Structure 1
Amino acid sequence: MGQGAYLLFGALILAPVAVFAVQASGRRETDATATGARLPFLFRAAKYAGAVLGSLVGGLLRVRRRHVEDSLSRSGLDPQQAGAMYRRLGRGVFELLWLSLPGKRALRDVVLIDPELLPWLDSPRGLVVATAHTGNWDLTACAAASLLSARERRLTVVTKHFSHGWLDRTWQGLRRKYGVDLISAGSVWGEARRSLPRGNVVAMMIDQAPERSRGSAPGRFMGQPCVLDLGPCLVAGRLGVPLIAVFAARDADGRQVLRLAGCASPPKPGEPLRAWAEATAQTLNDWLEVQVRRDPADWLWMHRRWKPLPGAAPQRRMQRAVSDGSAEISA
């Protein structure tokens, strides 16, 4: 159970929380933050509703709590950070429920874009973005899609699906409402070839363990061996488009900030694509590790990031795929 579980619980208690928040605010839509910026009141109220939800799921029900604490400990971090992670994840669910209310929200009020990121969004060759489950990644994706739409460009996100049909339709529909184009992992290469030459953006997650040996390689993350997903690197390298790492984070006022973590250097002349992709994938994960260590509670520790590839001899199969060149793009 991941964020889908939070949505299930959040949906049950959204109505009374929303009513209480509106009554407490005197039916005001916005309230001032410490910096003077005005944020929607219900957006800020998500902090308190999310704390209750996070305590329920992470404390009382202990959904993957042992896994989260063990992962923090193995990474050399305080396992007590688990509680804050569950509260922030609960907060993010209520922010998405606020986002799903009738009409469209003005996301520029709740999501800030790193000025260094803006020139990359205008790349005429298109752009591949490596990102991760930090901050409120779905909210920031909606904000990025809205920004790109104003530039007459599109954001395509590689996504997975919830097992609950109605929940999956709600989640996917929310992102489409704000202009996010969604594709499955098997459609990455075809969509990239169509979309990137038009100057569009393709975003892919790098912080989940790949399910297949193709398009993957051994690496390290948070000081532990892991399997790296080469998908973003192979797409960018084969099509000759820029590759950057962008991660969301929450600032002191509760807003989300999309930050440029780094820009990957293109392959050198004559450099094998596979070797470049493996080295670059490790660099992307190193950049992510810097952010996770800076604010451990802001990353989704519930994923089994360090699990091996399926099967009895995953490393042997993976190395064989590398040596015979059969590796394909896999998101």
Structure 2
Amino acid sequence: MKEKLVSGFIYIVSLLPFWFLYLLSDVLFVLIYHIVGYRKKVVFENLRNAFPEKSDSEIKEIAREFYRYFPDLLVEIVKLASISEKSVRERIELLNPEEVFRHINQGKSVIGVTAHYGNWEMGIHSLSLMMNTPELIIYKPLNNKVFNEVYNRIRTRFGATMVPMKQILRHMIKLKNIPHISMFVADQTPVYQDSDYFMEFLNQDTLVYTGTERIARLTKNPVVFCEIRRKKKRGYYSCKFTTLIENPDDYQEHEITHIHNQFTEQIIRSEPAYWLWSHRRWKRKRRS
């Protein structure tokens, strides 16, 4: 019952036009930044640790830009519940889809990697509409089962298949003879039982997922990064595909993990406001 109520509410709000949703976003910005101060301590701590070379005024400017972008992201995600195929195609410009199809046409599957940057949720819709082969979205289930089901229903509107992390191999075995793409959002915070590998990421000792590398080595498939950049106009993005790894067998252990995390860091450093700074990314510390 709760799921139907939440789903129905989100769908009704999603029917509002973008211009009205952005008016709501303007109100949300004032609320979460100036009044509530949503996770300000987390955001400023993350930014200061990531960019120790920046002045306080520079950190404050990045934080303000992030808080201005964040409510836009929220209303855009709600809009995905009813957005049309035409609107998705208009709002995310695919710069080089041929880079993905180059591998698919060779009979290979693709290990896709992206980050919580730009609008990764709209990127799922865009990728679904781009592909004519199966698309697996690897995700970490939310603790709230209601929202987990609601969001997954939205994400699969155009044909994507949501796959919990612990079920990756099962789904890949089913598709072993069918070229497909498996997309990982690889900048999440793992629990200790999922990873014990730390590396430097944004100037901090960071526990990182190694699952992308493990799957790439097991399947011997190329690793392609999906880079979603926000354009100047609200609600519009570009998507660029970059093959980071052609042959996983050519790399040493953990090297693939370093490569895609370092690529993510370069993107974040170039325009830092559009990463999810409110996330407690560095809550896991090395255990003695």
Identify the TM-score tier after normalising by the shorter chain: 0.7 to 0.9
**1:112 alignment partner, one of 93, 102, 107:** 93
**Residues 1:260 and 2:244 aligned together:** no
In 2: Cα distance, 1:257 partner to 1:294 partner: 15
Q: Deviations over 1:29-75 (max 9, x none)?
A: xxxxxxxxxxxxx3355444323223322432222211111111111
For residues 141 and 102 of structure 1, do their structure 2 counterparts lie closer, same or farther at Cα, with a shift above 3 Å needed? closer
Deviation at 1:98, TM superposition (A): 2.3
Deviation at 1:105, TM superposition (A): 5.0
* Structure 1 match to 2:203: 223
* Structure 2 match to 1:297: 273
Q: Identity over aligned residues, as a percent?
A: 17
Count of paired positions: 273
**2:186 alignment partner, one of 192, 206, 211:** 206
* Structure 1 match to 2:3: none
* Structure 2 match to 1:189: 169
* Structure 2 match to 1:328: none
Q: How does 1:114-133 map to 2 (within 5 A)?
A: 114-115=95-96, 117-120=99-102, 122-123=104-105, 124-133=107-116
Confirm or deny: 8 A CA contact 1:51 1:88 kept in the other structure. Answer: no
For residues 260 and 79 of structure 1, do their structure 2 counterparts lie closer, same or farther at Cα, with a shift above 3 Å needed? same
Confirm or deny: 8 A CA contact 1:193 1:239 kept in the other structure. Answer: no
Confirm or deny: 8 A CA contact 2:111 2:216 kept in the other structure. Answer: yes
Confirm or deny: 8 A CA contact 2:112 2:181 kept in the other structure. Answer: yes
Q: List runs of 5+ in structure 2 lacking aligned partners.
A: 1-5
Higher RCO, Cα 8 Å, sep 6+: 2
* Structure 1 match to 2:220: 240
In 1: Cα distance, 2:103 partner to 2:29 partner: 35
Deviation at 1:89, TM superposition (A): 2.1
**Residues 1:136 and 2:119 aligned together:** yes
For residues 210 and 120 of structure 1, do their structure 2 counterparts lie closer, same or farther at Cα, with a shift above 3 Å needed? farther
**Residues 1:95 and 2:76 aligned together:** yes
Give 1 or 2 for the bigger CA radius of gyration: 1
Q: Deviations over 1:195-235 (max 9, x none)?
A: 35311111112111211244441211111111121111110
Amino acid at match of 1:122: I
* Structure 2 match to 1:50: 25
RMSD value over aligned CA atoms? 2.8
Q: Deviations over 1:138-185 (max 9, x none)?
A: 11111101111xx2x121111233344433322111111121210111
SS at match of 2:170: helix
Deviation at 1:287, TM superposition (A): 0.6
Is the deviation greater in 113-122 or in 133-142?
Answer: 113-122
In 2: Cα distance, 1:134 partner to 1:221 partner: 15
Confirm or deny: 8 A CA contact 2:195 2:210 kept in the other structure. Answer: yes
TM-score w.r.t. length of structure 2:
0.83
Task: List structure 1 runs of 4+ shifted beyond 4 angstroms.
Answer: 10-15, 102-105, 213-216
**2:231 alignment partner, one of 251, 259, 268:** 251
In 2: Cα distance, 1:12 partner to 1:157 partner: 22
* Structure 2 match to 1:73: 48
Confirm or deny: 8 A CA contact 2:100 2:110 kept in the other structure. Answer: no
Confirm or deny: 8 A CA contact 2:13 2:79 kept in the other structure. Answer: no
Q: List runs of 5+ in structure 1 lacking aligned partners.
A: 1-6, 19-41, 317-331
Confirm or deny: 8 A CA contact 2:47 2:59 kept in the other structure. Answer: yes
In 1: Cα distance, 2:104 partner to 2:11 partner: 42
Confirm or deny: 8 A CA contact 2:135 2:183 kept in the other structure. Answer: yes
For residues 12 and 147 of structure 1, do their structure 2 counterparts lie closer, same or farther at Cα, with a shift above 3 Å needed? closer
In 1: Cα distance, 2:34 partner to 2:142 partner: 23
Q: Deviations over 1:293-321 (max 9, x none)?
A: 11111101122222225xxx63x6xxxxx
For residues 74 and 155 of structure 1, do their structure 2 counterparts lie closer, same or farther at Cα, with a shift above 3 Å needed? same
**Residues 1:307 and 2:274 aligned together:** no
Is the deviation greater in 291-300 or in 97-106?
Answer: 97-106
Deviation at 1:265, TM superposition (A): 4.4
SS at match of 1:300: coil
**Residues 1:178 and 2:158 aligned together:** yes
